[in-house]
Chain A
Amino acid sequence: MVCKMGTDMAKSGMMRCLALVTGTGLSLAVTGGQALAAGPSEPGLPQLDISTWPSQIFWLVVIFGVGYVMMAKVVTPKIGTVLEDRRTRLDGDLGKAREASAEAAKIRAEYEADLEAARNDAAAFARQAAAEAAEKAAAVEGKADKKLASKVASAEKKLAEAKAEAMENLNTVAAEAALDAVKGLTGLKATKAQADKIVKATAKAMAPQEAN
């Protein structure tokens, strides 16, 4: 195996260089490969057949080169753009959402302030209305009281007048009754003036008793 490598190496300087550098790393693989590749017809590990190396290196360089250009010019810029667009879009949307949220909070605060002011206004208005109503009621009540009092007063006055008149009339009736009674009992004629005088005196004498 190693001999074969040696003869082949003479073919190309490049191969020799590579084989020398890989030599250390390969020594283990070579022994392993020889053990695996049992049988006299087997030449050993196909990997160590350096006649295939130029072709493999050539196609590796060509294909990897083409792959690199494709990845660098088409694939990675495309994926990068899509990811970048998404990131900016998400950031923008998040910013917008944050703004909207702040706006909503502001509107809510305003609304609550309005509500509070309206509540206060309503309370003040209600208080004022209640006060006005109470005042009006008091005024009406005062007027009614006064009217009532004056009515009572006039009624009492009338009553007193009626009483006095009634008392006057009563005296006259008593005098006449007394005259009639004197005439009927005694046949004497008493003058009206006499009778009045007596009735008045009697009434005067009785008045303190009535008061009691």
Chain B
Amino acid sequence: MSALALKTHPPGMFELDFARHAASLPGAGLAWLDARRRVAIAAFGKTGLPTRRVEAWKYTDLANALEGDLEPVSHFGGAVDIANVFGSKPVDEVVLAHGLVRHIEVSGGLEVADLGLLDEKSPAWIRDNLGMLAASADQPLGAASLALMRGGVAVRVQGAQTLHLQFSNPALGHGAVSNSRVLIVVEQGASLRLLESHSGEPGRQRLANLGVELVLNANAKLEHIRLQSDDANALHVTTIGASLARDAEYRALFAAMGARLSRVDMNLKLASEGARATLHNIAVLNGGIADITTVMDHAAPHTTSRQLFKSVVGGDGRAVTQGRVAVRKGAVKSDSHQLFKALLLSPRAEADAKPELEIFADDVVCGHGTAIGALDADALFYLRARGIPEREAKGLLIRAFLAETMEGFADEAVQDALAARIDESLASLEQSES
């Protein structure tokens, strides 16, 4: 093995962790996994921790946000607060603390494995899939999450299922980084409603680094609802790699309401004819950065992607939305649309929106739009002139702005729970504005 160029801390912390602990990571000694981890740390090493000099990270300077050494979390024995953020308790549930599985409760139809306990008896579907997505040099943090994976969960779906993945990040006495992975394989014709929540307690600086692989086989359906409300001081990076086979459908609603710096970095491949993806993103922030960066890769004819990102930014917050739609040669009749909108509630708030199109096929429909602005003064006056106090009127307009992102997702209980969390977030936003 070639010597790794160890950089100084913190930029070299992942390489150093790998050099020191590769032999004791979960599944160490499994040749296929060792090989993938080695490839992944080399892929990460091409950029290292991204600074603004890396084009895809030019609005979100992760390296500079780190305050110093972060200790890898390889074990956590403390109490975990389990909150039902999505309203009624789903039957199937996995609870993770700092990315390490704490508790698995599933009934039939779902196969679930703890990635912290991989061994030679681990099933073939994990070996066939783990690390194939969300680990390339284009997604350096995803690569690090595989190379340094301490835990996480693998799920195989047959039939129609619902699963809640609950990530909890309790307080720690030291600066910490967790590297974990999620692998979801939805078998042919099967469907999953995946509810994913992230919560955290205040404490020393912490980086939650998660890599997520979503494999949708032919005719599979995945509805993915994700709520990130980590502690306001946390750094939170999730790298998602998704691959959709023929006629597979992915529908996602993401909400980012916590963390000082959060980034969702998604690469979704519409790999076969008839594959369809819808991604809606909500960001509500009062400070710090919420970044969503996506690549919609139309690799086959008759594929469809829809993206709607809406950000509400107060204080000195910054919302970053970057979306690249790539239509490959031969991917005729590709149909894509992306719309990024941001509402700026303070003079210091900022939104950076960068839609990009790369089209190498004929006969495609690709649209995009961006709108960044303040609350509509006419609408605000209208509501106030009807007796609605200013703060309530602003809340009403903000909720109206976000409303269309939630339409048609999950059930009423989940929508209500999500709306309640958004309201909480807006309440703190408005208070700090007035």
A and B interact: no
Contacts from B to A (Cβ < 8 Å): none
